[in-house]
Structures are given as structure tokens and as C-alpha cells.
């Protein structure tokens, strides 16, 4: 039925008028409450209100030279009127109108689940003007670079970066994360998220129309237009089926009447009953009711499908390729080992004063370096309450490390390249130790004082806490092969793959080489690629299903991926599989049920002269059940957290 794009509240009013006038008509015809001769007028009002929407839809499709289900319903109601069966005809139109209104309600409910995001976004923001005054302005007037003040308990009106204050923010509306996140100066925040406890000032980073929440809503709106394959098939099947039914009905009227001399009235009555019960309303609505509910469920859980077609595609996936940095790992290295080296004895120590001095010196040298490894070393010193030594004349050599003066001695902290340039003869012990650490997937930084190596610090990117469990659940959910694609070196990649039980590792890859690997994998399975979007865009686009994660911040991911996980949370992947499988199950339940009802009612017409009234109730009842079954997918608890 094609009611979905109409005004739901108008349909409800028309359905109510249809029902009231039908009841008044029955009272006038069969009781003495009302004059009998006005019954026909009530039936006419009932027909007009119940058939209004169907007539409009029928004219629209006839202009395209197509027939639709609405045409079948209107024809059946007119047929009933010709037979004088006004009550059956009006009941048919009432139930038809009611199922249309309920269908519109169901789809609106799914859409509202998404639009509730929009309601969280305030329509105004408190802007600080250049003269220091504060003014409440519509969010559309906020420009990039403006300063906005957000108080505790308020929803953040626009995307921006914090320039003053700190707070915790509930981002569940955007990322689906249940735990509030601490935000301080320099951190980005999103429109429609809730500022919990501090006053913050932020600098606007995007105009209102480009905020993450606006993009989500546009994506979901277009997702509902981007239909599932089953739905597209059923929509092309509808006009052909309608023509077949109309042809069969014409033959059912004229062959028994003209060829076999049967009475016209019962023949026509039977043909009208066939017209009602053979209409595939339930079949046509079976897919959109389920798919749109699944899309809405996903959006509430921080999973965005960019179309119904991707809900179905997810079911087929048997191979998943992950980007490593920022997807399986946090993308932030942390210090793993601090090892001091005593050159005279050739021995190593991992605790004690020499280790503290080593870290204090390294942190002092790295204090003002921009490098991400430097940040990790300084953070480690902070964590252990070690004050960095104060050094002078720090100089950074890109791609190598830093040098500085400490107590008139030259100290340097950097990679092997740096020291091969500085030191002619290296102790074998320290070389072997560094090689061991590298084989374990760690990055090694050397610390040297006056050309003597005094120790080394190893760092490693940390695996996300939820990664291992998420990958295990994917295996339980029937994923046959999990692969890792990374630009990192083989040793690091192998070490992480071993910890996570990954089946296949491809290291040292450039973005275009990731595409080649995906192409190869596509020959033996249906492949999903999971990445953080920026450098993974080509691979996301090449795979059967591109899944971008942590995409609340990256526009590229929102644009290239088919499915977007708004938070940095891999544990959403098993839920995604379960949701799509449940949706497919419900779609097929609906299809099988609606076909079974049509076949059963058709048998009833020919074997036991099924009355039109029962045909009407059976037909429309099945449509309502199918819509309600689809709506179950809105409930997050109905999606099993166990193996689907």
C-alpha cells in the first residue's frame, strides 16, 4: 500500500469519519433509532472518507499507466455497492483506510525515533559578542569562530571546540555511548549532546546546517528512500500483480455468467470477494515496515544505515577486514617499558633510581616536542610523579628525535637512525635488547648522554579494551574470517593480531594497496571493511559493505561508508549483525505469513463460498499484523545479545 508519504493525522481523521458514518448507516438500516431512508447517505459519506486516499493514489498511478493495490480496493468496494452490499463495501474501505493510517503511524513512529535527535538540539545558543555582552540567538545565525556559552544541564546547540572550562558530556544521542565523556579545553563537542556539570565556552566549528546531528538526520531520511532489494522487487511486482488480479476477476465474472449461464449476482459477489482477498497489501508493506523500524533502532543505538539495502547486505557478510590504528587500537602510543643500561657491566634494570633518572631526563628533553611519542613519554613521567629534568637548547631533528643540554652535557632521545649518525660503535647488548622489543611489536626510543647509551624506552599502541570481546562475538555470530589491514610494520601487526586471534594480517600497506587486498578478498567472500574513515575511504568504498567507526568527527567517513558507527565502539558490530539478521527474519516472516493468508482466503472463496465480510477482515487483519510485527524491531531488547 502506498500510503506512507501522506499526512498521517489526516488519514486518522478520515478513518474516524468513515467508521462513525458506517455505524450510523447500520443503525439507520437495521434499527428504528434513525429513519431508514437516510442510511444510504451515511454509507456514501463512509465510502467518500474511507476511499478518499485510495482514489488519489489510484489516479496518481493511472497517470503513469500503472495499476496499484488501491485500485483493487476501490474496485472491490464499488462492486459491493453495485450488489447492494453497502455494509461490506464500507467495512472494506474502513479497514483499508485504518491499515493505511496505522502504516503511516508505524512509519512516522520510526521516523520520530530519529527526529527525537533534532528535538535535543536547542533552537538558540547564547553567543558572546565582541563587546563582551551575551545574546541568545537562533542557531542558524551562529557563524564559524563565534563564541557560545553553555551552562550545566543544557543541550549543546552547535558543533564546536571548547576554549574555556571543563565538563562531562552525555554524547549518547550522537555516538550511542552510554557513559558521559570528560571534555576540556581543545576537545570537540557536538550539537544535541548534554552538558552535564560545568560552564563551558566553545568556538563554533561548523554552521548549523553542517553539524553532525543534521548530517545524521539527512542520512537517515535518505536511507528510508534508499530501499532494500526485497522492497524494490515487491514494488515492481505490485502493478503486474494488480493487472493479473483484475484480469482474473473479469474472467471470473464473465466466464461462469456468459459461458455457463450462472446467475450474475452470486458470480459477481464471488469475483468481488476474490478481488479483496487477492490484494497483496500485507505483502507490499511487509518489507518497509520492518526495514524502517530496523533503521530507526540502529539510529537510536548509534548505528546509522545509509539505506535499507545495507540492512539486507549486512546479513550476507562473512569476512571482515579491520584497519588497525584507531580502529582495533586506540591510535595513541603508551610507554610499555623503561629500561636503564649500565655500560660498564652491560646489564639492564627495569626499576630503581637509574630508571627514574632515565625517565626524568627523557621527559625533560621531550617536554616541548610535538611528536606523539614525546607526549607518551611526558605522560608516563607524570603518571609516576617523576619531575622532568630542566634542560636547555632543545633541538628537534624531524624523523629522528631531539637533543638538549643537561648539566652541560649533551642528551639525546630518539630512534636508531639518530644514534647511528652519532655513535660509531654500539654495544651488542643494547642492540639485541632493542631488536627483541621490536619483535614484540613495540617502538623503541634510545636515550643517550654524551654519546653513551644509558637506556631505552619502548612504546606500543594500545588495543581498545572492547576489541577482543567484540572479535570473539563476531566469530560466534558466524563471521568466518577476520583480517587486519595496516600501514604499520609486520612485527607490530603480527604482535597485535596474535593477541586478538586475527586470521589474516596485511602490513606495510598504502591506502591504494588496501583496496587491492579488499578486491582479492571479495573473490572468496562477502567483505565488510571497518575503518576510521579518513585514509580508509577508498577501501570502505571498494568493499561490499563499508563501516566507518568513530565517525562523529569525520565527514569523509559519513560520506563514503554504507554504515556508520557514531562512537568509537567496536562492540556495536555484533549488535549490527544481530539487528540486520533479525530484520531479515521479520521481513521473511511477514512475506510468508501474508502469502499464506492470501492463499488460504482464496481457497475459502472457491471451496466454502467465503463471505465478503470475512474476506475483508482476513485481508486487512493480516496487513495490521504484518505492520505490528515490523514495529517489534524498534525495541532494542528484542534484538538478542546472544548468538543471532
Question: How far from 463 is each of 95, 332, 458, 568, CA to CA, in Å?
Answer: 57, 9, 16, 12
Q: Terminus-to-terminus CA distance in the chain, angstroms?
A: 31
- Nearest CA to 283 among 60, 588, 70? 588
The kind and range of the H/E element at 445 are strand 443-449
Look up 263 and say whether it is catalytic: no
- DSSP string of 125-161, one letter each residue: EEEEPTTS-EEEEEGGG--TT-EEEE-TTPBP-S-EE
CA angle centred on 184, ends 181 and 185, rounded to 5°: 150
Q: Rounded distance, CA 564 to CA 21, Å?
A: 49
- Rounded to whole angstroms, the Cα distance separating 322 from 573 reads 12
Q: Judging by DSSP bridges, how do beta strands 504-506 and 481-485 pair with one another?
A: parallel
Distance CA 55, CA 3 (A): 11
Type and span of the H or E element at 411? strand 409-414
**C-alpha cell read off for 488:** 604499520
- Angle between helix 69-82 and 229-254 (nearest 10): 30
Assign residue 192 a region (left: φ > 0; alpha: ψ between -120 and 50; beta: otherwise). Answer: left
- Marked catalytic residue, from 146, 159, 323, 488: 323
CB burial class (10 A; 0-12, 13-18, 19+) of residue 512? exposed
Active centre residues (catalytic): 323
Amino acid at each position: 500500500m502506498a500510503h506512507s508519504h501522506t499526512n498521517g493525522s489526516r488519514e486518522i481523521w478520515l478513518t474516524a469519519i468513515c467508521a462513525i458514518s458506517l455505524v450510523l448507516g447500520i443503525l439507520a438500516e437495521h434499527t428504528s433509532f434513525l429513519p431508514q431512508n437516510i442510511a444510504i447517505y451515511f454509507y456514501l459519506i463512509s465510502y467518500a472518507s474511507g476511499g478518499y486516499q485510495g482514489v488519489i493514489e489510484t489516479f496518481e498511478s493511472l497517470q503513469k499507466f500503472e495499476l496499484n493495490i488501491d485500485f483493487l480496493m476501490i474496485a472491490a468496494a464499488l462492486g459491493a455497492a453495485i450488489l447492494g452490499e453497502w455494509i461490506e463495501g464500507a467495512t472494506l474501505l474502513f479497514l483499508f483506510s485504518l491499515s493505511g493510517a496505522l502504516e503511516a503511524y508505524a512509519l512516522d513512529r520510526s521516523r520520530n525515533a530519529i527526529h527525537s535527535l533534532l528535538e535535543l538540539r536547542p533552537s538558540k545558543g547564547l553567543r558572546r559578542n565582541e563587546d563582551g555582552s551575551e545574546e541568545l540567538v537562533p542557531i542558524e545565525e551562529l557563524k564559524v569562530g563565534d563564541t557560545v556559552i553553555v551552562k550545566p544541564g543544557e543541550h549543546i546547540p552547535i558543533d564546536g571546540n571548547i576554549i574555556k572550562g571543563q565538563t562531562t558530556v552525555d554524547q549518547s544521542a550522537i555516538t550511542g555511548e552510554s557513559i558521559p565523556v570528560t571534555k576540556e579545553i581543545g576537545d570537540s563537542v557536538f550539537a544535541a549532546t548534554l552538558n552535564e556539570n560545568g560552564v563551558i565556552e566553545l568556538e563554533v566549528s561548523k554552521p548549523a546546517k553542517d553539524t553532525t546531528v543534521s548530517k545524521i538526520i539527512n542520512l537517515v531520511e535518505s536511507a528510508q528512500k534508499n530501499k532494500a532489494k526485497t522492497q524494490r522487487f515487491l514494488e515492481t511486482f505490485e502493478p503486474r500483480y494488480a493487472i493479473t488480479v483484475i484480469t482474473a476477476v473479469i474472467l471470473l465474472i464473465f466466464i461462469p455468467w456468459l459461458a455457463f449461464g450462472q446467475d450474475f449476482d452470486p458470480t459477481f459477489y464471488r469475483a468481488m470477494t476474490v478481488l479483496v482477498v487477492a490484494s497483496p497489501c500485507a505483502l507490499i508493506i511487509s518489507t518497509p515496515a520492518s526495514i524502517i523500524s530496523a533503521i530507526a533502532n540502529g539510529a537510536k543505538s548509534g548505528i546509522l544505515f545509509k539505506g535499507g539495502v545495507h540492512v539486507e547486505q549486512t546479513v550476507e557478510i562473512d569476512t571482515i577486514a579491520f584497519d588497525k590504528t584507531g580502529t582495533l587500537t586506540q591510535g595513541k602510543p603508551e610507554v610499555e617499558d623503561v629500561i636503564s643500561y649500565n655500560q660498564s657491566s652491560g646489564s639492564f634494570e627495569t626499576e630503581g633510581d637509574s630508571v627514574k633518572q632515565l625517565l626524568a631526563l627523557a621527559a625533560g628533553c621531550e617536554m616541548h616536542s610535538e611528536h606523539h611519542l614525546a607526549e607518551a613519554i611526558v605522560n608516563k613521567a607524570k603518571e609516576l610523579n617523576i619531575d622532568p629534568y630542566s634542560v636547555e637548547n632543545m633541538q628537534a631533528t624531524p624523523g629522528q628525535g631531539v637533543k638538549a643540554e643537561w648539566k652541560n652535557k649533551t642528551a639525546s632521545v630518539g630512534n636508531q637512525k639518530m644514534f647511528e649518525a652519532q655513535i660509531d660503535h654500539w654495544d651488542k647488548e643494547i642492540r639485541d635488547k632493542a631488536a627483541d622489543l621490536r619483535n614484540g611489536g613495540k617502538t623503541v626510543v634510545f636515550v643517550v648522554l654524551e654519546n653513551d647509551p644509558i637506556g631505552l624506552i619502548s612504546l606500543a599502541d594500545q588495543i581498545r579494551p572492547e576489541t577482543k570481546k567484540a572479535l570473539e562475538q563476531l566469530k560466534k555470530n558466524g563471521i568466518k574470517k577476520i583480517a587486519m589491514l595496516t600501514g604499520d610494520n609486520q612485527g607490530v601487526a603480527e604482535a597485535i593480531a596474535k593477541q586478538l586471534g586475527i586470521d589474516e594480517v596485511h602490513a606495510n600497506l598504502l591506502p591504494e594497496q588496501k583496496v587491492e587486498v579488499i578486491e582479492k578478498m571479495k573473490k572468496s567472500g562477502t567483505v565488510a571493511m571497518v575503518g576510521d574513515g579518513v585514509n580508509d575511504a577508498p577501501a570502505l568504498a571498494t568493499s561490499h559493505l563499508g563501516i566507518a567507526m568513530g565517525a562523529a568527527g569525520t565527514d569523509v567517513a559519513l560520506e563514503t561508508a554504507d554504515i556508520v558507527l557514531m562512537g568509537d565502539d567496536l562492540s556495536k558490530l555484533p549488535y549490527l549483525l544481530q539487528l540486520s539478521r533479525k530484520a531479515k527474519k521479520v521481513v521473511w516472516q511477514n512475506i510468508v505469513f501474508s502469502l499464506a493468508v492470501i492463499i488460504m482466503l482464496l481457497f475459502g472463496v472457491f471451496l466454502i463460498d467465503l463471505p465478503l465480510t470475512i474476506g475483508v477482515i482476513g485481508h486487512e487483519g493480516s496487513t495490521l499484523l504484518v505492520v505490528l510485527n515490523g514495529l517489534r524491531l524498534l525495541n532494542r531488547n528484542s534484538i538478542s545479545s546472544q548468538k543471532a
